[in-house]
Copies of this chain bind each other. A is one copy, B any other.
Amino acid sequence: MKNPSPAVSCGSCSVRKLCLPTGLADEEVEQLEQITRNKKTLKTGDLLFRAGDPFSCLYAIRSGSFKSAVIGADGDSQITHFALPGELLGLDGYSGSEHPSYAEALEDSSVCILPFTQLEGLAQKVPALQKQIYTIFSEELKQENDVLLLLGKRSAEMRLAALLLNISSRYARRGYSACEFVLSMARMDIANYLGLTAETVSRLFSRFQKQGLIDVRGRAVAIIDLVALSELAGTHCSYES
């Protein structure tokens, strides 16, 4: 369990540029490493934290992926986002001092543990870190706004197209192929996230395939016609590339 010897090294972490250290000087990154001594590994299906757990830490994803979801009063849950390496989990637990959502590993994963009290203290001394925390909070708000737009106004096919493009761009940002990737989540998770049913999602995958937009083999997806998919999603992005 305890693993104090090989301290976490942000400097050599593959997702350094997407994570908290962004914008920090080398010496500041070292200070950050001081409070990020522990990491944790999880297997597929393991929970990183449960709804109701006391809030004390943030988690930075080193590898793998997670789904994060809130649970309604009647027990059913809504996935609020899929988290990839470099992203932070647990931000919504700060107020109220307990996690309102839970986070589950979608594949074998590892995270850095960031005790928030210490992170807060360091941010007090390091303006660049404080800025970065604000940025991450704000970024997450912005993303959730976009999902609200998706759920409130978009058709099923627009939602799925938008999700595929979103995942594609996030893989691309980490240096992987923007056009070929393996989804780590089940159809049902995608459906839940998009406010649809697994059947509808499955039908859409088939349809996109038939239309020559993508090539699907189970969870492996290859995007064939990025432009057409973008038009379907209603976002005029990803052009001129």
Closest B residue by C-beta to A193: B152
Would A148 and B144 count as touching, CB distance under 8 A? yes
Give the interface SS of chain A, mostly helix, strand, loop or mixed: helix
Closest B residue by C-beta to A141: B92
Closest B residue by C-beta to A135: B95
- A18 to B44: give the CA distance in the assembly, Å: 41
Query: How distant is A241 from chain B, measured CB to nearest CB, in Å?
Result: 17
The residues of B that contact A123 with a CB separation of less than 8 Å are: 130
Query: How distant is A226 from chain B, measured CB to nearest CB, in Å?
Result: 15
Q: Is A195 an interface residue, CB under 8 A from the partner?
A: yes
Please pick, from B72, B140, B234, the residue contacting A153 in the complex, using a CB distance under 8 A: B72
Would B142 and A140 count as touching, CB distance under 8 A? no
Binds B, one of A27-35, A73-81, A206-214: A73-81
Q: Is A177 an interface residue, CB under 8 A from the partner?
A: no
Would A149 and B94 count as touching, CB distance under 8 A? no
Would B195 and A151 count as touching, CB distance under 8 A? yes
Q: Which of A78, A145, A149 has the most CB of B within 10 A?
A: A149
- A148 to B134: give the CA distance in the assembly, Å: 22
Would A149 and B74 count as touching, CB distance under 8 A? no
The residues of B that contact A120 with a CB separation of less than 8 Å are: 127, 130-131, 134
Would B137 and A70 count as touching, CB distance under 8 A? no
Would B145 and A72 count as touching, CB distance under 8 A? no
Would B148 and A147 count as touching, CB distance under 8 A? yes
A120-B127, A134-B137, A148-B148 known; 5 new pairs, CB 8 Å cut-off, are A101-B145, A120-B134, A124-B130, A137-B141, A141-B144
